[in-house]
Structure 1
Amino acid sequence: MSESIIEINHLNFTYERQRVLEDIHLLVEKGSFLGLVGPNGSGKTTLLKCLLGILKPQQGEIKLFGQPIQKFKNWHEIGFVSQKANSFNTGFPASVFEVVASGLTSKLGLFKMMSPNDRKSVQKAIEQVGLSEFAKRNIGELSGGQQQRAFIARAIVSDPKLLILDEPTVGVDAKTVQNFYEMLMKLNRELGITLILVTHDVGTITDKVTHVACINKHLHFHGQSKEFEELKGDEMSDFYGHSLHVLTHNHSH
């Protein structure tokens, strides 16, 4: 039987009397790559904040790695990458190596020196995202796509079992996005990291992810990506509240 990484039951969340999430049930199993899709304002970011313990839902339960979220302590097992690219201060005086090393703070504590093993972990994470040649480069000199890779390296340097990415490709050009998704697939398949990718990019991800969850206040669909591709246009329109065509790019895996 598969091990569940996330288990959500009867989750409700209300902001100032407005119900944002209603009766959400979601199971994410170990080793899966979930694409979380939905229109703007559909509750995707609220759901992430509940998962990360930032927001507390009014009703329902969340379990992380089999433990109720209230008792969960091993936050280093979860890596998070936000929609950073557009808001990052490119004048920040830090090398790629230093940015990635900052991902070890929760494990090491703020002022503890890095051991040779820690330095190896940083180099390995940089290599895994394809930035070895840029390790000494100032983060501000990198392109948006390369910066996002550096932030993923920072998120995986502490060996998380789950990596959550909130629209990481905003403002990144199409070719870079394609390479970016290939890299995520590699992290999922070769390192066995469970991934949750929040995205608007419905068509591009269906052949990359293993599962899709479509949220718009309610969870309208949750299943394998193949099943999602087979949905009819009118079913998709019901989810999104407007007509939508899923354009799938059938690259081989």
Structure 2
Amino acid sequence: MGNNKGIPIIKVEDISYKYSKDLVLEDVSLQVPQGAFLAIVGPNGSGKSTLLKLILGVLKIQKGEVELFGQPIRQFKDWQKIGFVSQKANSFNTGFPATVFEVVLSGLTKKIGLFKIPRKEHKKKVVKALESVGMLSFKDRNIGELSGGQQQRVFIARSLVSEPELMILDEPTVGVDQKNVQQFYEILDMMNKQLGITLILVTHDVATVTDKVTHVACINKTLHFHGDACEYNELNEEELSSIYGHGVQLLSHNH
């Protein structure tokens, strides 16, 4: 990884954002060091997805500053360093006529070039990505035949195939059953610890991942808590309630 160790991979400074008159984020600042696994948590409508869209350049910054890999987002061009996995499992068109192999290969479209023939090295990368998420034996299956959890593992492989340094996942386990959720988090753990990929995970299910994440950020319009996972685990119910209002049951630690 060519990144300077001292520079945070993401730096968000004093970000505020409003849709028409509704302020959804207010003066949010946080940094994500290289190699971190950050969980972003908060109730529905707390601004988590808006923050991701600002980091990914999908929304234009209204106030504040975002830096990626040490560069202001306006100047940042190296988008292949960043992988993104959304809540696809919940809404994927099951009639889509593509094999698992083809879906993952499509993650290399930029590198291969549109309508160009993939070379042997590209196919090797697809095999490696599918192996790392335990889906190689499904490579010839139609993506629409898979369960939600299996589809999400394929979408992770699609992001992995271009060898990103940062992976952002927006509630990727929505619509995935509990057994597959555990396997899914094991894969994220492996990507972070073995492949050295910095991860940002927006989740409602932080109690399930606190043994895997390194940092937690609690957002409810403003940033209420940002620290390492151990500090977060030590918050009592009262402190969590003050962040979440009535949403504290989402974060019970009795797993």
Once the two structures are TM-superposed, the CA of residue 133 in structure 1 deviates from its matched residue by: 0.5
1:159 maps to 163
1:247 maps to 252
Write the distance in 2 (CA, Å) between the matches of 1:107 and 1:218.
Answer: 39
Write the distance in 1 (CA, Å) between the matches of 2:18 and 2:247.
Answer: 27
Deviations along 1:53-80, one digit per CA (max 9) or x if unpaired, are 0101211000000000000001011000
Once the two structures are TM-superposed, the CA of residue 249 in structure 1 deviates from its matched residue by: 6.1
Once the two structures are TM-superposed, the CA of residue 3 in structure 1 deviates from its matched residue by: 3.4
2:82 maps to 78
How do 1:29-40 and structure 2 match up within 5 A? Answer: 29-40=33-44
- Contact 1:85–1:148 (CA under 8 A) maintained in structure 2: yes
Of the candidates 46, 66, 69, which is equivalent to residue 70 of structure 2?
66
2:242 aligned with 1:238: yes
Once the two structures are TM-superposed, the CA of residue 175 in structure 1 deviates from its matched residue by: 1.1
Once the two structures are TM-superposed, the CA of residue 13 in structure 1 deviates from its matched residue by: 0.5
2:144 maps to 140
Write the distance in 1 (CA, Å) between the matches of 2:78 and 2:119.
Answer: 22
Amino acid of the structure 2 residue aligned with 1:209: V
How do 1:89-108 and structure 2 match up within 5 A? Answer: 89-108=93-112
Of the candidates 29, 38, 45, which is equivalent to residue 41 of structure 1?
45
- Contact 1:207–1:249 (CA under 8 A) maintained in structure 2: no
Percent of pairs with identical residues: 62
- Contact 2:43–2:247 (CA under 8 A) maintained in structure 1: no
Once the two structures are TM-superposed, the CA of residue 143 in structure 1 deviates from its matched residue by: 0.9
Write the distance in 2 (CA, Å) between the matches of 1:198 and 1:38.
Answer: 9
Deviations along 1:80-136, one digit per CA (max 9) or x if unpaired, are 001001110111111000000000112222122211111100110010110011011
Write the distance in 2 (CA, Å) between the matches of 1:107 and 1:23.
Answer: 37
1:229 maps to 233
CA RMSD of aligned residues (A): 1.2
Write the distance in 1 (CA, Å) between the matches of 2:97 and 2:206.
Answer: 36
- Contact 1:204–1:247 (CA under 8 A) maintained in structure 2: no
Distance 1:243 1:180, change over 3 A: closer
Question: Tell me, what secondary structure is at the counterpart of 2:117?
Answer: coil
- Contact 2:13–2:29 (CA under 8 A) maintained in structure 1: yes
1:193 maps to 197
- Contact 1:234–1:243 (CA under 8 A) maintained in structure 2: no
Distance 1:47 1:27, change over 3 A: same
2:175 aligned with 1:171: yes
1:127 maps to 131
Write the distance in 2 (CA, Å) between the matches of 1:248 and 1:231.
Answer: 10
Once the two structures are TM-superposed, the CA of residue 214 in structure 1 deviates from its matched residue by: 0.5
Once the two structures are TM-superposed, the CA of residue 50 in structure 1 deviates from its matched residue by: 0.4
Amino acid of the structure 2 residue aligned with 1:247: S
Once the two structures are TM-superposed, the CA of residue 202 in structure 1 deviates from its matched residue by: 2.1
Unmatched runs of 5 consecutive residues or more in structure 2: none
TM-score (norm. length: structure 2):
0.95
Question: Tell me, what secondary structure is at the counterpart of 1:97?
Answer: helix
Amino acid of the structure 2 residue aligned with 1:248: H
TM-score (norm. length: structure 1):
0.96
Write the distance in 1 (CA, Å) between the matches of 2:69 and 2:103.
Answer: 28
Write the distance in 1 (CA, Å) between the matches of 2:114 and 2:221.
Answer: 39
Of the candidates 32, 50, 54, which is equivalent to residue 50 of structure 1?
54
Amino acid of the structure 1 residue aligned with 2:141: R
Write the distance in 2 (CA, Å) between the matches of 1:125 and 1:45.
Answer: 26
Question: Tell me, what secondary structure is at the counterpart of 1:71?
Answer: coil
2:199 aligned with 1:182: no
Once the two structures are TM-superposed, the CA of residue 233 in structure 1 deviates from its matched residue by: 0.8
Write the distance in 2 (CA, Å) between the matches of 1:11 and 1:29.
Answer: 18
Once the two structures are TM-superposed, the CA of residue 243 in structure 1 deviates from its matched residue by: 5.6
Of the candidates 109, 121, 136, which is equivalent to residue 117 of structure 1?
121
Write the distance in 2 (CA, Å) between the matches of 1:237 and 1:53.
Answer: 32
